[in-house]
Amino acid sequence: TAIRLNAEANDVGIKFLGSDCIGADAGWDVVLAGDVFYDKSFAERLMPWFATLKARGADIIVGDPGRSYMPQAGLEPLAVYEVAVTRALEDALVKRTTVWRFA
């Protein structure tokens, strides 16, 4: 994955959890989430958890292509990417995606 390749290139250790960890706190320094604001109820589950982790000092980094339920406040953009996508899956040939940090 892109996260694994980036971690290797920067000599950073990462651990992937293949389970639902929403609501848990294992003392992570950074939480990475990708394209998670596609559903209202899921976004409503995530936001309090992200706020709790942020309050204790974790960095919350989210990649989002502009989904409907992305919060409109409390985020700062870190980077913007234009990604080629398949027309069969998306409504355009290029999708603009932003990486955000919870501020």
pLDDT tens-digit readout, 28-80: 999 999 999 999 999 999 999 999 999 999 999 999 988 999 998 999 999 99
DSSP 3-state of 94: strand
pLDDT at 48: 95
Measured CA angle at 65 (ends 64, 68), to 5 deg: 85
pLDDT at 4: 84
CA dist 33 and 26 (Å) reads 16
pLDDT tens digits along 79-98: 999 988 887 777 778 888 99
pTM: 0.79
Which of the pair, 12 or 100, is modelled with greater confidence?
100
